[in-house]
Chains A and B, each alone.
Chain A
Amino acid sequence: MKVSITVNGTRQEKDVEPRTLLVHFLRDRLQLTGTNIGCDTSSCGACTIHLDGEAVKSCTMLAAQADGGKVTTIEGLSKDGVMHPMQQAFMENHGLQCGYCTPGMVMASIGLLKENPNPTEEEVRLGLEGNLCRCTGYHNIVKSVLAAAKK
């Protein structure tokens, strides 16, 4: 089947099998490998992207379900070589260790601040419950999100 998905501002029209997962579409068809696959079972959030402005797990969606939609991945955040404030906050606050969970964490965190621009620490922790960090760097991740909220 044909799908047409606007990814990071560029319209992408591709022929896909209906069973193509959105994350495979992004990684394998568009070579946007910034979006990671961690658990592949909807639990870890490494594959989090934005669909029409909302954080979703791209391993648990078909590309067909995103047909006609607007997708933003981690590659689409920086503007003219300047990182998104959330990316900057992660860098400044040591919000990453190995970096595997980071693209998903950043996407989920941007989604979180969109829905709750001034979260408490507790609300950040709860808001990111769908994202796991295997390095257990949660403390600085939460610090990064709180710092980004202040920017």
Chain B
Amino acid sequence: MIPAAFDYKRASSAAEAISLVGQYGDEAKFLAGGHSLIPLMKLRLAQPAMLIDIGRIKDLSYIKDGGDFIAIGALTRHMDVEKSALVLKEVPLLAHAAGYVGDAQVRHRGTIGGSLAHADSASDLPATTLALGATYVVQGPKGERLMAAADFYKGFLESALQPDEMLTEIRVPKMNGAKWGFEKFNRRAQDWAIVGVAAWRSKDASGVALVNMGSTPILATSVSAALKSGASVADAAQLASNEAEPQDDLNASSEYRVHLAKVLVRRALEKASA
């Protein structure tokens, strides 16, 4: 399968990429790792007339200590997040989740920024960064703005990004030793989750987010509220789908998804409370 014809330009900085997209308008799309976009283009579900390749913007591929948070450049590949000593130490939940994205070949190419910007509720990293209370740095023609992960996801494959805005950095609060659990239920290796859960818990707080339980990643706030008011893990997990609107698809009915969410939230929280 061959994508429809398009023009191709390679950007060497975020500013150049943003100005190029501005020049070509709605017809243009950023290309990062290409591991969501190219499959869609091969199926002709996406037919951009212009691809702006941002995959080689070297100064957007980094992992740094930002004090209270770890700053990750949007073009950092999944494999680099998974293996980073800094991420493993300060946000182990994110390193673990990055290691469960697709397979090794996918993780060599796919980027964290591409995964978040694609805004697929079935993807692992949108929910994981949501659970961790991450902040996204967005750059546009008028400058930079910060956006909480909780405000970023608007609908099915829809984010708050404007077409001429680029995700440049992801800031993930350090976990400060909080325990965590990550559960991904799928039927074949390398697949997306049928339902997934990313959760962490400290003495007086917690964060729980769900993969593939609606058109966006879902923050399970009822579960965290119940834990805070002293509920047991088993009881809190019963509230797993309160905020969710799971859909039926070929893999699972919405009813089954609700069941999975409760079981997986319980398992994740048991690990986070051990």
Contact = CB atoms under 8 A, between A and B. Distances in A.
Interface string A43-63: 101001001001111001110
B104 A1 contact: no
Interface string B38-73: 110111000000010101000000000000000000
A83 B232 CA distance: 59
Interface string B65-106: 000000000000000000000000000000000000011111
Tell me the interface secondary structure of chain A in the complex.
Answer: mixed
Contacts of A40: 1, 42
B3 A60 contact: no
Contacts of B157: none
Chain B interface size, as a band, is 20 to 34
Contact of B104 (A42, A51, A61, A112): A112
B2 A48 contact: no
Contacts of B102: 130
A1 B42 CA distance: 20
A61 B55 CA distance: 12
Contact of B106 (A24, A42, A115, A127): A42
A19 interface: yes
Name the residue in B4, B34, B104, B190 with the highest tally of chain A Cβ atoms < 10 Å from its Cβ.
B104
A111 interface: yes
A120 B94 CA distance: 24
B31 to A, nearest CB: 8
A92 to B, nearest CB: 24
Interface string A5-32: 0000000000001110100100000000
B256 interface: no
Nearest to A43: B190
Name the residue in A17, A55, A62, A108 with the highest tally of chain B Cβ atoms < 10 Å from its Cβ.
A62
Interface residues of A, number: 31
Interface string B204-240: 0000000000000000000000000000000000000
A64 interface: yes
A57 B106 contact: yes
B47 to A, nearest CB: 10
A133 to B, nearest CB: 12
Interface of B: 1-8, 10, 31, 34-35, 38-39, 41-43, 51, 53, 55, 102-106, 108-109, 189-190
**8 cross-chain pairs, A with B, having the tightest CB-CB distances, nearest first:** A130-B103, A18-B8, A129-B189, A54-B108, A19-B3, A129-B190, A57-B105, A129-B103
13 contacts: A19-B3, A19-B4, A19-B41, A41-B39, A43-B190, A45-B105, A48-B105, A54-B108, A55-B108, A57-B105, A60-B34, A60-B35, A129-B103
